[in-house]
A and B are shown apart, each in its own frame.
Chain A
Amino acid sequence: MDLILEGIRKAFYLIFTLDREVLGITLLSLRVSGTATLISLFIGITTGTIVALTRFPGRQLVVSIINTGMGLPPVVVGLFVTIFLWRNGPLGFLEILYTPTAIILAQAVIATPIVTGITLASIQNLPANLRLQILALGATRVQMIWLLVKEARLPLLAAVMAGFGGIISEVGASIMVGGNIKGYSRVLTTATVMETGRGNFDIAIALSIILMLLAFFVNAILTQIQQRERPR
């Protein structure tokens, strides 16, 4: 019992004194996962909107693939990103394996299907006639798509949160492609794994508390969004 209480006490000390190492890891985590989320939003919202608004042969298959991708196991992504970035791999020339950039790449691969799937669903959930109503207001195709995406902005915020929440707490891919190099590619989750292995529970608990706080904020915002009503 002492172990836990002492751990928590020390953890709060580390957090409130803005311990350099804890702060560095936290900021790197936010930067890496934030960048990966931005990339996934760009690709995911575009793809999701296109798939939602068009009809083409094999569309059903594409939707199935996207939905499967939403549950992509991070370690599988880690494996394939590692292979691609390996020295003689197809993207080996980039020489980014075991860098934060590699983590960003892997996390973007994990988050993109999540963002795409949620975008697809939220655009499709808009009233069927809304598209026609916008066109009847005199909109061009581009204006119509922009207004639809704007209308789906609340569920799209959910996509942001789900994507970010999914990758900030992900450990498998980060450790595989980032290498958990101290002060360079060490993020909250990989650091927690390592510190726990070493028996440094105070730092591990401090990192976990930060992770849980982040998870709490993400979920609090998501819940807010889900409780709102659509206009008539």
Chain B
Amino acid sequence: MNSETKAESTLQADGLVNGGDGSGRTLDLAAGIALSSESRQDILLQAEDLLVRRGGVTVLDISALDVFSGQVLALIGPNGAGKSTLLLTLAGLLKPARGNLLLRGERIGNGGFDYRRHIAMVFQEPLLFDTTVFENVAAGLKIRGVGRAEIGLTVPEYLERFGIAHLAKRSARKLSGGEAQRTSLARAFVTKPEIVFLDEPFSSLDPPTREALTNDLERILRETHTTAVASTHDQAEALRLGDRLAVVNGGRIVQIGPAAEVMNRPADEFVASFVGVETVLPGRVVRISDGSFTASVERCEIEAVGHVRMGDEVFCCIRPEHVTLSTNASPPGTSARNVFPGTIRTITPLGLFQRVRVDCGFDLVAYVTRQSLEELSLTEGKSVTASFKATAVHVIRRRE
């Protein structure tokens, strides 16, 4: 067995994971690096052959799923795809018709509270108890029979962590949406769970609150080295929080792997339409100058705009419609800061336009019209110059 995990090899056996070029190989540079770092990880939670039926209909059918210790697995998929069902099943809150869960290789018995005391779950709604913020955060500890003295020490620490220390005595009835969800998160983390399940925790919050909470969650996950499985239907959120992505559709995992790999190498049409519309390049900030910055991506440098710090790990996302192709070595009269010579690897017709994948040292996807394709007489293997503006790069900061 090589460095791949069991889940991924199972998926490969099903023909579900393959390179974007259809060759079935995933071992390009980015994926190779990610896989070798993954192989060092211990598997914390494993699901085998999970089947959940509701009203005679199969709502979840997962042949294998691994959650690595200390990592965040982001579940992404449309509404009704089975993300919540999968989370509830993994949390031991929904009994599958078939299948096993293993925590550190040990089978989890059905329905017991033993396993549930190792985990925590945060739902979309805060689901607070009708008492004070302090008592809400203390709830999990009280359930475990932790003494008053210890609660008095632990709870304030987590109130502080989630920025709600000043609300300790406030009634849960008098909180804003963001404050309530912070309380819910603190209540989950205070028990020091080995694994946290988050079911679209921020999707009912307004954008600024959501941003602040995502930042805090990201920081706390990093500080506490907590393993997490989080569902979202927002791909930017998935990229920010997730070390790995699993795309869920129709109750199945259609693709799973390191975040950048799933984004850049969608396994099928569905994944492509759902997540894979962008080129996503992992890079590191190497220079900052006056509003814009330079990130080193593989062996190239990309200029982009955004608030970053030196040394930050970032994802540079470039939408295919923002990439211009030209047959001149240096296209005249353009303000594009990013110009890369490359070779066309594949051309795929995609409805009204053509999807052109260019190898510039990294893979870049461009959309061109059929007319441009003919005018420039683009063919596979031809040398072209790809360019895009610094402002066309959507920058997502990664967790360290």
| Nearest CB in chain A to that of B196: its residue | A136
**A138 touches which one: B126, B129, B144, B180 (CB < 8 A)?**
B144
Q: Tell me the smallest distance from the CB of A192 to a CB of chain B, in Å.
A: 40
Stretch at the interface among A83-91, A126-134, A179-187, A193-201: A126-134
Cα distance A129–B91 in the bound complex, in angstroms = 13
Interface string of A196-232 (1 = CB under 8 A from B): 0000000000000000000000000000000011111
Known interface pairs A136-B119, A151-B130; A231-B171 also in contact (CB < 8 Å): yes
Residue pair A139, B125 in contact (C-beta under 8 Å): no
Interface contact B125-A138, CB-CB below 8 Å: no
The reply to whether B117 and A132 form a contact with Cβ atoms under 8 Å apart is no
Say if the beta carbon of A147 comes within 8 Å of chain B: yes
B334 to chain A, nearest CB (A): 51
Q: Give the chain B neighbours of A137 by CB distance below 8 A.
A: 116, 120, 139-140, 143, 187, 191
Q: How far is the CB of B191 from chain A (nearest CB, A)?
A: 7
Chain B residues with a Cβ closer than 8 Å to the other chain, count: 29
Are A232 and B125 in contact, CB atoms less than 8 angstroms apart? yes
The answer to the question of B88 belonging to the interface, with a C-beta cut-off of 8 Å to chain A, is yes
CA distance A151 to B91 in the complex (A): 23
A140 at the interface (CB under 8 A from B): yes
Assess whether B130 is in contact with A232, with CB atoms less than 8 Å apart: no
Chain A residues near B263 (CB-CB < 8 A): none
Cβ 8 A contact of B116, one of A138, A150, A154, A228? A138
Q: Given A129-B125, A137-B120, A139-B143, are A231 and B191 also a contact pair (CB < 8 Å)?
A: no
Residues of B within 8 A of A140 (CB): 113
Q: Is B97 an interface residue (CB 8 A)?
A: no
Q: How many of A's residues come within 8 Å of B, CB to CB?
A: 22
A231 engages B172 (CB within 8 Å): yes
Task: Kindly state whether residue B259 has any CB partner on chain A within 8 Å.
Answer: no
Q: Is the CB of B140 within 8 A of A133?
A: no
Which chain A residues (118-176) contact chain B, with CB distance < 8 Å? 127, 129-130, 132-133, 135-140, 143, 147, 150-151, 153-154
Contact A132–B88 (Cβ < 8 Å): yes
Closest to A129 in B: B123
Query: How long is the Cα–Cα vector from A169 to B297 in the complex, in angstroms?
Result: 81
Are A232 and B175 within 8 A (Cβ)?
yes
| Closest residue on chain B to residue A132 by CB atoms | B93
Shortest Cβ distance from A152 into B: residue: B130
Inter-chain contact B127/A130, CB cutoff 8 Å: yes
Asked if B53 lies at the interface with its beta carbon under 8 angstroms from chain A, I say no
For B175, what are the chain A residues with a Cβ–Cβ distance below 8 Å? Answer: 231-232
Known contacts A137-B120, A230-B130: A143-B143 contact under CB 8 Å: yes
- Contacting residues, chain A, for B121 (C-beta < 8 A): 132-133, 136
CB atoms of A232 and B93 under 8 A apart: no
Question: Are the CB atoms of A231 and B143 closer together than 8 Å?
Answer: no
A136 B116 Cβ-Cβ under 8 A? yes
Q: How far is the CA of A138 from the CA of B142 in the complex (A)?
A: 10
**Cβ contact within 8 Å between A127 and B127:** yes
Q: Give the shortest distance, in Å, between A212 (CB) and chain B (any CB).
A: 32
B residues apposed to A, CB below 8 Å: 88, 91, 93, 113, 116-117, 119-121, 123, 125-130, 139-140, 143-144, 171-173, 175, 177, 180, 187, 191, 197
Chosen A-B contacts, 15 in total, with CB atoms closer than 8 Å, are A133-B127, A135-B116, A136-B116, A136-B120, A137-B140, A138-B143, A138-B144, A143-B143, A147-B129, A230-B130, A230-B173, A231-B172, A232-B125, A232-B128, A232-B172
Q: A135-B93, A136-B197, A231-B129 are in contact. List 16 more A-B contacts (CB 8 A).
A: A127-B125, A127-B127, A132-B93, A135-B113, A136-B121, A137-B139, A137-B187, A138-B144, A138-B191, A147-B139, A151-B129, A154-B130, A228-B173, A230-B173, A231-B175, A232-B177
Closest CB pairs A-B (n = 4): A231-B172, A136-B121, A138-B117, A232-B180
